[in-house]
A and B are shown apart, each in its own frame.
Chain A
């Protein structure tokens, strides 16, 4: 219980720190968003209009501390600012439109990669030296060794362009509108396969080899030998004694991976023009869309922290040594 409170407190402090840094960083940069906006209108902006814009974006000559509280109030009440690129759409709306695509694509793919990689890692280590162990880790490593956006380009070229099996880009077809209809879902799935495959191939090997190596080390531990000697059934030995311990480092990696789910797989989304947050973020950076960048960063930071909180709590469930602070070795 103390551990849980401890983690929660840490989470709250971290979120506050992330929010504050997110406030300070843009104010330390040269120029301001209104200048960028001004530049965008290519001098066709009167000083009055410029002033109006500044007011609209919440820029004022207030003392910094007052700005800070205005900012905090805005965050809580959902006023995160307006996007330049899609002016006058609020950034929250822009993010709300692209985030589901990313979470759907990267999230499902990551989970698939983690589960499949971990399960096969357990199996290949258990059947060490077997045919699967002799082929799969090397094959997967070979694929992962290629930069994943290049893998994506190859997939687009061969499976999309040459064979015409899958669409080349975008999240769904032009003929359908986002809705709960079967046609849309089917179209979204067809569009998702190539980017999903790209991300999967780019990450699967890490999960597989990581788990396999942990597992091989754990299988040599005394408690596994002792359990084998005391007659524990092979399946139980593999899962409850070996994998149960070997999986702990994977959980940590998974926490990091969850962060990537929200921040998106920028390059993959760019290659496939996939309407996720990664593509949005890239566009925002190119357009100097400060409010959107800021909002996106905030969402990413909070998501990563939240994911870490969940994993910390999960870790305590999985490893009793963490709960008590691990006093004895």
Chain B
């Protein structure tokens, strides 16, 4: 009997209506996150990872909409909820830490007011006293002195603000927390301490995390599994431990791995990936990565590869399943393991 996933994405596509036509920012994404685990979601700017995060929270704004697929959180279809149900479902069951630590807090309300507001919005019968007590407790959990309950956001450092945002995110003990580049705006030292904090809280509280980032080494360290996104598609889901160049990966993942600077190996050259990310308005037929891929074969420009098992996870690359007509000489597929979606 398989464990019920916290988050289950089934063929999710998100489209932005633009004047130049619809842009598929997220295309056909299927993914599962299990209770108490950390799933990394990685990709370069504009690959659709934040859009996917917002889509899960049903926070798509303006001209963006969920075009296809279903998003289930704790077996509940997020897009089947009424606005009223959605308001209580969000934060009770799933919450989100935004990219913008500096601007996610209301500048004219104290830290305490903003935490109490969160609690009271969901627990109208909670007394102010109890809400304040909980606010104090939450600040302790993220290691901020309780004197800052009365501080305004502008009186806190960026790291402290992000801790407050994290405290608000876990205030109602959700099962899933989406973290959209929670440390991007912070310097490296603060980044480290926040990550440590996240790991501790996660171990303590047992919520699952979808950790969105563009920092490969950071995600590899934090998450158990990593999903790699390219041009709106998930091209690989791999065990975080396997993320090194000694094993075969999706060509894009390999490109990213080669681009990580290493302080320990003097002789390893850092390489960028040649070419540009594709224009989402004008995606090539077949594999979107084909124009930049060193392994490219004729089939790549005509057939979209599906996610298939490979030795360390799933990859959407013709290289790993030549049965679809890939070029000879590629390694034959490994036996199916736990990586069944």
Seen from chain A, the residues whose Cβ lies within 8 Å of a Cβ on chain B are 221-223, 225-233, 236, 240-241, 244-245, 318-321, 324, 326-329
Contact = CB atoms under 8 A, between A and B. Distances in A.
A236 B107 CA distance: 15
A308 B184 CA distance: 41
Contacts of B155: 324, 328
B90 A230 contact: yes
Contacts of B281: none
B102 to A, nearest CB: 8
Nearest to B110: A320
Across chains A and B, which 7 residue pairs bring their CB atoms closest together, nearest first?
A222-B103, A320-B152, A231-B121, A226-B104, A222-B100, A223-B106, A231-B91
Nearest to A241: B106
Given A226-B98, A245-B108, A318-B108, A231 B88 contact: yes
B95 A244 contact: no
A111 B45 CA distance: 49
A105 B109 CA distance: 37
- Interface size bracket, B side: 20 to 34
B73 interface: no
Contacts of A226: 98, 104-105, 165, 168
Contact of B117 (A225, A232, A324): A232
B121 A233 contact: yes
B106 to A, nearest CB: 5
A278 B87 CA distance: 54
Interface in B289-315: none
B152 A223 contact: no
Interface SS of A by simple majority:
helix
A230 B154 contact: no
Given A320-B152, A321-B152, A324-B155, A230 B107 contact: no
Contacts of B95: 229-230
B180 to A, nearest CB: 11
Given A231-B90, A329-B154, A245 B121 contact: no
23 contacts: A222-B98, A223-B106, A223-B107, A226-B104, A226-B168, A229-B90, A230-B91, A230-B171, A231-B87, A231-B88, A231-B90, A231-B118, A240-B106, A240-B109, A241-B106, A244-B108, A245-B106, A319-B107, A319-B108, A320-B107, A321-B152, A321-B154, A329-B154
Contact of A326 (B91, B105, B122, B154): B154
B59 interface: yes
Contacts of A228: 59
A225 B62 CA distance: 12
B38 interface: no
